[in-house]
């Protein structure tokens, strides 16, 4: 019996959102999508996913603020957060980790790398 983990992916880049959604859905994960950090925070509380993947740079609310908000809410604080970043700025990564993010992936990453990180978090 396989467990279908629900993954919330937040990215304002429609192409990246589609790529990640397709990749993870093909592996059997249930996908919930958000286009900004505010939407991600609301959906995290509503859907209670097994994992939240947040792009750092998004409109309305950036991924760092969304991460901090998700990790400070008693309902969602135990949900692991995986940050997505283009530059891989050390300062932003350190800030995300200090807010409670588990790790990060730089975009673009190989399909194999993304799956490896997701599977390592979800077990």
Checking if the pLDDT of 14 tops 70, the result is yes
Can you give the residue ranges of every domain in the chain?
6-122
**Residue-averaged pLDDT of the chain:** 93
Checking if the pLDDT of 49 tops 60, the result is yes
User: For the segment 63-109, what is each residue's pLDDT rounded down to a tens digit?
Assistant: 999 999 999 999 999 999 999 988 767 889 899 999 999 999 988 88
Q: Which residue has the higher pLDDT, 22 or 109?
A: 22
Which among 42, 35, 33 has a CA at the least distance from the CA of 58? 35
Q: What's residue 3's pLDDT?
A: 53
Task: Take residue 43 and report the two structure tokens written for it.
Answer: 């959906």
Checking if the pLDDT of 2 tops 90, the result is no
The CATH number of 6-122 is which of 3.40.50.1400, 3.40.50.2300, 3.30.230.70, 3.90.550.10? 3.40.50.2300
């Amino acid at each position: 019996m396989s467990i279908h983990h629900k993954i919330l992916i937040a990215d304002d880049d429609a192409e990246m959102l589609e790529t990640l959604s397709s990749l993870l859905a093909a592996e059997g994960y249930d996908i919930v999508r958000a286009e900004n950090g505010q939407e991600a925070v609301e959906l995290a509380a509503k859907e209670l996913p097994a994992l939240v993947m947040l792009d750092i740079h998004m409109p309305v609310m950036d991924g760092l603020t969304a991460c901090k908000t998700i990790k400070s809410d008693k309902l969602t604080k135990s949900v692991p957060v995986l940050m997505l970043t283009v530059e891989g700025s050390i300062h932003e990564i350190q800030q995300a980790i200090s807010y409670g993010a588990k790790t990060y992936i730089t975009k673009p990453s190989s399909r194999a790398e993304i799956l490896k990180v997701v599977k390592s978090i979800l077990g």
